[in-house]
Amino acid sequence: MYKRTVTMSRLCLSLRVLLLCVCVRARQLPGSCSFELDTCGYSSDPNYGSWTVNKEGHLISVDSSLLDEQEQAILVSPILDEQDWSCVRLVYQISGGGSLQLYLRLASDNFDYLLWTANKASDSWLIASVDLPNNAIPYQILLEGRPAGGLGKSVAIFEIHIVNGYCIECDFEEHHMCGYSNSWNPNVNWYVGGVATESNLFGNNTTNNYRGHFVYVDSVYSKHFQEVAKLTSPMTTVPMEGCLSFYFHRKQERGNIFSVFTRDQLGVFEEIWRPEVIVTAGWTLVYIEIKAPHPLQVVFEVAFNSARGGYVAIDDISFSPEFCQTDTESTFDPAIANCDFDNGLCLYYQEKAESKVWSRVSIKPNTYRIGDHTTGTGYFLLANTGFTSIPGYVGRLHGPFLPGNHKYCLRFYYLLNEFRKVDSTLVLYIYDENNVAQEKVWSLSDTPRAVWTVVEITYMKPMLSKIVFATICNNFWECGSLAIDDITVSLGDCKITAGSVPGQCNFESGVCGYIQDKKGDNADWLRMRGHTPTSLTGPRGDHSTGVGYFIYIEASLMHPGHKARLLTSYLHGSSSVQCLIFYYHMYGSGTGILNVFLAHGRRKDILLWRSSGELSITWMRATVDYHCHVQHQIIFEAIRGPSLRSDIAIDDIHFKRGPCEEPGEASPYSGSSEYFNEVVN
Q: What is the pLDDT of residues 423-435, one digit of tens each?
A: 778 899 999 999 9
pLDDT tens digits for range 355-365: 678 889 999 98
pLDDT score of 664 more than 70? no
Tell me what pLDDT residue 55 has: 79
Comparing 667 with 97, the larger pLDDT belongs to 97
- Which of 494-498, 624-628, 660-664 has the least mean pLDDT? 660-664
Tell me what pLDDT residue 328 has: 62
Domain covering 6-164 in this structure, CATH number = 2.60.120.200
Buried b (16+ CB within 10 A) or exposed e, 473-482: beeeebbbbb
Comparing 296 with 208, the larger pLDDT belongs to 296
- Highest mean pLDDT among 267-271, 388-392, 446-450 belongs to 267-271
Pairwise CA distance, residues 493 & 496, whole Å: 5
pLDDT tens digits for range 606-645: 999 999 999 999 999 999 999 998 989 999 999 999 999 9
Mean pLDDT to the nearest integer, 453-470: 94
- The answer to whether domain 179-320 and domain 504-679 are alike in fold is yes
Mean of the per-residue pLDDT values of the chain: 84
Mean pLDDT to the nearest integer, 327-335: 75
- Which of 102-111, 112-121, 174-183, 554-563 has the least mean pLDDT? 174-183
| Contact predicate 247/284, CB 8 Å | yes
pLDDT score of 317 more than 90? yes
Reported as type and span, the H/E element at residue 495 is helix 494-497
CB contact set of 680 (below 8 Å; sequence gap of 6+): 561, 593, 639
Q: How far, in Å, are 165, 341, 480 from residue 488 at the CA level?
A: 33, 12, 25
Tell me what pLDDT residue 152 has: 83
Give one word for 177, left, alpha or beta, with left for phi > 0 and alpha for psi -120 to 50.
Answer: left
Tell me what pLDDT residue 7 has: 28
Tell me what pLDDT residue 392 has: 66
pLDDT score of 331 more than 80? no
Confidence of residue 19 (pLDDT cuts 50, 70, 90): very low
pLDDT tens digits for range 378-436: 999 998 655 555 566 788 999 999 999 889 999 999 998 766 666 778 899 999 999 99
Residue 469 burial (10 A CB sphere; 0-12, 13-18, 19+): buried
Mean pLDDT to the nearest integer, 306-331: 83
pLDDT score of 163 more than 80? yes
Pairwise CA distance, residues 451 & 547, whole Å: 9
pLDDT tens digits for range 81-131: 888 889 999 999 999 999 999 999 988 888 888 889 999 998 889 889 999
pLDDT score of 372 more than 90? yes
Tell me what pLDDT residue 344 has: 94
Tell me what pLDDT residue 14 has: 40
Mean pLDDT to the nearest integer, 520-535: 91
- Which of 91-105, 343-357, 483-497, 559-573 has the least mean pLDDT? 343-357
Dihedral over Cα of 66, 68, 74, 78: its sign? negative
pLDDT score of 375 more than 90? yes
- Which of 262-271, 351-360, 493-502 has the least mean pLDDT? 493-502
- Which of 233-247, 381-395, 443-457, 523-537 has the least mean pLDDT? 381-395
Amino acid type, 398: H
Tell me what pLDDT residue 499 has: 53
- HSE, CB side, 13 Å, CA atoms: give it for residue 401: 11
Residue 312 burial (10 A CB sphere; 0-12, 13-18, 19+): buried
pLDDT score of 73 more than 80? yes
pLDDT score of 448 more than 70? no
pLDDT score of 666 more than 50? no
Mean pLDDT to the nearest integer, 145-158: 90
- Which of 198-207, 287-296, 329-338 has the least mean pLDDT? 198-207
Mean pLDDT to the nearest integer, 184-210: 59
Confidence of residue 137 (pLDDT cuts 50, 70, 90): confident
Tell me what pLDDT residue 355 has: 65
Tell me what pLDDT residue 276 has: 83
Amino acid type, 325: Q
| Contact predicate 18/27, CB 8 Å | no
Assigned architecture for domain 334-497:
Sandwich (2.60)
Mean pLDDT to the nearest integer, 557-568: 94
Mean pLDDT to the nearest integer, 47-57: 85
- Which of 157-161, 255-259, 443-447, 483-487 has the least mean pLDDT? 443-447
Pairwise CA distance, residues 95 & 102, whole Å: 18
pLDDT score of 341 more than 50? yes
Q: Tell me, which fold does domain 179-320 have in CATH?
A: Jelly Rolls (2.60.120)
Domain 504-679 classification at class level: mainly beta
- Give me Rg for the CA atoms of the chain: 30
Residue ranges covered by each domain of the chain:
6-164, 179-320, 334-497, 504-679
Q: Determine if the peptide bond prior to 659 is cis (ω within 30°).
A: yes
Closest CA to 569 of 505, 523, 637, 632: 632
Percent of the chain with pLDDT over 90: 51
pLDDT score of 442 more than 50? yes
Pairwise CA distance, residues 452 & 380, whole Å: 11
Comparing 154 with 1, the larger pLDDT belongs to 154
Comparing 47 with 466, the larger pLDDT belongs to 466
Pairwise CA distance, residues 521 & 567, whole Å: 11
Tell me what pLDDT residue 27 has: 62
